[in-house]
Structure 1
Amino acid sequence: MSAVTEAEMAKVKTSSNGVWQGDDPLHFAFPLLILQALLILLLSRLLALMLRPLRQPKVIAEIVAGILLGPSALGRNKSYLRALFPPWSAPVLESVASLGLLFFLFLVGLELDLRSVRRSGRQAFAIAAAGISLPFACGVGVAFVLRRQLPGAAQAGYAPFLVFMGVALSITAFPVLARILAELKLLTTPIGETALAAAAFNDVAAWVLLALAVAISGSGDHRSPIVSLWVLLSGAAFVAVWMLAVKPAMAWVARRSDGQGGGEDGEFAGRVTERVEDLVSELLLPLYFASSGLKTDVATIRGGGAWGMLALVIGTACAGKIAGTFGVAMACGMSAREAVVLGVVMNTKGLVELIVLNIGRERKGSENTDQSSKFNVAYTCLPSIDHSSNVSSEQVAHGVCVVFFGGPDDREALELAERMAEHPGVQVTVMRFVDGKAGSEEHAEVTLQPSNTKNADKSYTFSTAIVDTHKEKELDEAAVAEFRQRMGPMVRYEERVVAGNVVEEVVSIGKSREYGLVVVGKGRLPSAMVAELAVRAAEHPELGPIGDALASAGQGVTSSVLVVQQHDMSNADEVPVSVVVVVDGHGHGHTATATTAAASSATTARTWWSHEIGD
């Protein structure tokens, strides 16, 4: 499900007036929630019946039900997904599901005998230590492989990436474990109590490591391991307050209710459990586990390499957790059978791992933004269609074409193409333009020189950064080669050699009706062909030469246009330019329509960008 803005959530209403008064109940939160819950419960019950001969717990059926209802299966039909699981409904469903998890963990606490946990404390601590140490080390090893193989993994910070992977592979999902033990009637057995206690220790260690990873991947004042210490101390203080203040108060409530305390055998605990257990386990909790499946899109795993990486991660996580737990359990005097059972139940994974990985993905993005002071600016232009040509909606295609000339902005557009291609419903084409005049007899050198006499409202903008054009070309070649290697057949790649009018070639793409969206870089550090367009009259100067050519009126372009700008502090300043074309050693000056508000800073006429181009 895509992200939901605050404005979209503000428009959501709780209940409708009904179909007979013109309301569509599916556009209101509460009726849609009832329908979603009904679908999840019916499908999860059906799957539970089918899996019963295999002795699988209900939680498996609930997660699979979410996967089937989500984008992996039925959700591939976008009309169904927008109608029954629109993005704005996700926070509502997840809030109710989290309420179910809260009640379930409360019931687990009611049945948990702390005296038995204390008896198995040392044993559980040893098992938890081994159960997190070995898989954590294995996760770090897998991280080295993933950084080399997965697209974009190398962009993440090294230390945070290793820690995130280690934590994700070593966590035991406490809610899933508790649900499985409860369904298998193992919750109050010695092995169940040991498993729960070990999982609790495991979770404490894992969340401390996660807080450390977030701290070292943060920015500014938040980039400090001290944050992890505060997280740990806050958690300890929270537990202390509840044990010292809330627990005695609850014991008093239990005594007033003629109970014997809050333990397993207490009458008060039994009455509370009896009243809420069915509501929680049969209605609310399935929504929680199904919500994890609704967030899963199996279709994004494409190709043998991706499935191989998936198998490597799953195999490593399982082997590390089971082997580590089994070894220490045997050393603690458990039988081989009990040690294997404990290792398997401690290997339960669930939404906790998804939380860790989602945080890791978000931190990666913020790290790339904060540490390099880099962010992306995008301009979107709707198609300017000549209505006299009678273009129908059916004639406008929905493919995406990314135009690549070279330079930082175009490389950013190439990264955007990679993210777009991950969506199963988007067909991406990368069209690389190659200078057909390069190396021919008709070549010249074009030099962009600062000028402070141009009108900012009628001119393009170019960066003042001094760059190594040879290095830029190497970066372009490396970016294209890496992109093609990673994406393979997922993206169509074409090269178009241009010796004539570049604008006509670009506009022909937007007029072809083959693409619903054309993505271009703004070209503030332009390639040779884009630099030549600096003398072109600008209608939309903020879009750069290529974006302006596509968005200008009268061109007959039917595609929408997305202009991408990679903005970092080293390329922030932009000034007006004049173009000097050198042919056989003679300079020919041309006034360029390129400027910026920072023009006053460019009073010196120093050259910062030079290309060889065709005359």
Structure 2
Amino acid sequence: MLLQNPSACYNLTVKNPNQVWKASDVYGSELPSLAFQTCWTLFVTRIFVIIARPLHIPSLIAEVIAGFVLSTDLLGEIPIMFRLLFPIRGILNVEVLSSLGIIFYAFLTGLQMNLDNVLRAQKKAFSIAISGVIIPMVMAAIIYTLHRNTYDVQTDETVESDPLKACLLWSICLTVTGFPLLTEILASLKLLYTELGRSALDAAIVSDSFSWLLFMLVIPFILSEGAGAIYTVMGTIAFITLCIFVVRPVITPIIERKTDREEWNDHQLLFVLMGTVMCAYITDLLGSGIVGAFVFGLILPHGRFTGLMMSALDDVASGVLAPLVFAGSGMRMDLTKAFSHRNWAFSVMIVVLLCTPKILSTLVATFAYGIPIRDGLGLGVLMSTKGVMALIMLNIGWDRQILTVSSYSILVTAVVIMTIASSVVTNTAYKPRHQFKMNKMRTIQNSRLDTELRILACVHNNRHASSMVKILECFHASRVSPLYVGALYLVELTSRGAFVLLDHMSQHVSHTGTQYHSQSQAELEGITNTFQELAESNDAVRVETFNVLSSYKTIHEDIYNTANEKHTNLILLPFHKQVNTEGSLEMLNRAYKDINYNVMKEPPCSVGIFIDRGVFSLSKTNCRILMIFVGGPDDREALAIAWRMATYPGVYLSLVRILLVDEASYQVDKEVALKAKGILSMALDSSKQKELDDEYVNLFRLKAMHNEDSITYSEKEVYVGEDIPELLNELDQGDDYHLYIVGQGKGRNSVLFSGLMEWCDCPELGAIGDILASNSFGSKSSVLIVQQYGYDGTMSGNAVQKHPNDQETKEDGSHTLINHV
């Protein structure tokens, strides 16, 4: 792995009286050296991975760069240090360990890939993949010919002795798109669940399948001559056929039965790994060991068993063995030989040209489907992502001396640049969090009643889904006022990025009705059924179900992107507490609170947190709603929601406006308010807000309360902070309300509410919402906390506030809807 000369030999002198070992003392000499080299390599690669993470550079590329730093090109300039860290006698042992890492990595790749997804791929994905094979192969032949004609170095090394084999290897390497690595990049950039991410993954999984097919059919002709290559291909095809039609029907029922009964343990999973090694050994006799490992992973059942295997193997294969493989690729690089010659500028040009075939091929395919050039370029850059397959091919070319040091170094350099570019360029060109800041305001208040109301309902389990259905039913969708519901199932990513692949595949499977086996997939099916019942009960409701697998620390960005892509008016979030058997709210998951807090910081639309106390059904015809109005954009948005719900017969709405008088009306100094942190940091202009409040409440009283006995309005005066809890208790005891609707209250620069906020356990609910959600309040009513997006237009200054019944909403011309793929 560490030598620059592929023709190096090893001379072993055996002097060991112990007949158990047929070589030198393994424990005394080989094992310490192997452990030291492994630990040192892993230590350096982890440093580079940590450095690359903020730049969204994949760990594989960081490990290749770390390997180059450890190579003789750099570290070799200090001979004593290099011999100390990488003694020659230990190189062969590291090579064996790296080969084992390649086998298990290929097994994991096959385990994650589902051929059903390839067969169900859309025509556009097939077109991009096929174009990504034909055009790069033609361009690779031209680029390699140019390389041979321009390469000149002042050493004994020249170009490859067999140009045909080298050209084939260049061609196949350029056709590869690293599906697992692309998924890691998209997940890191929070684009995995966008239209761009889904298009890229659909095309990448087809392209990756073609790459494996080319690898099985073409690599034997590169490694062997004439009849030997034909026998290798025929033997490989026979092995694959045997695995699919003989081995798979035998082992699949056994594995599924043991999985359903939860009978697997580490010892039994070890036998599966032994099957991996055995299949790799069989195909290694035929020509390539990784084919057997890949096929064995491909034929195993997917779903819950896949999760078990990846949990058991992924840490070792991806965390220990794979870095040795990728770092070894970097150690083999010798940029001095590749670029320190009189025609070095041509070598640089070759690297640049190697980065273009996938982009051009994708542009050709997307142009035929009428996709804009900008989006085609973005997709082409993503399709240029290389991965494990490309490095495996290059390592084979190195080991079999098909590629010279210079060609190998140029190709690996191009692979690294292409993969880094796919991450950096995409991150620069597609920034969803900056896109939705320029979108027109998506609020309930500014949306017309005769347009489709679009709501993104986020859930963590099926109980949350049932709660969301309750509040969604209160909107009483009709053909005049239809409702779109995007149900977003949030799943925590607790393992490596490989699980993201399974998640993407399960979304495809969900459309086919295939039975799930993993816990998260079973939960998703239950959530889907719960929301589908809502759609079936009302033909004016349209439902789509998605699942997002991400770290809880950054999952709010996936929620942002989904809401932005679906153009939603409201994001509904479940409260982090749920009702127990005694009727009190108890903590469900602290992480849910942090998610809600993060979502409310910079959302692309209005946000609501629903606290379901589970006592009453909100869809009953005598549903009683209490809306508490203090003032500000959040309260106006809450009133708009209550107004929509009250338009349905049988719904009783009571609007109580709290008037702050005397000491309660005192305001916090603006400079002090602006120094505050968190979601309440922006102090709004009180006089302007008071004017907008009066206008909207008067509009509500004029239009909603006209000849409507089901809607009442009252005003309550508050003088000090203690009056708020007393008033709420009085209102709760007066009538049996099913639902409270209140504004979160951001931007209030009132001394009264600033004091109440200091005692809040849940600041994301606001002062009044926190009181209503506390167990000491004793209410049995559900609560909806509302935060309006965009400060209702007051930040830009020119929005005209109107009820959804009004036929037009004026906006500042600076607000422009930007919709990207």
TM-score of the aligned structures, taking structure 1 as reference length: 0.49
Task: Name which structure has the greater RCO, CA cutoff 8 Å, separation 6+.
Answer: 1
TM-score of the aligned structures, taking structure 2 as reference length: 0.38
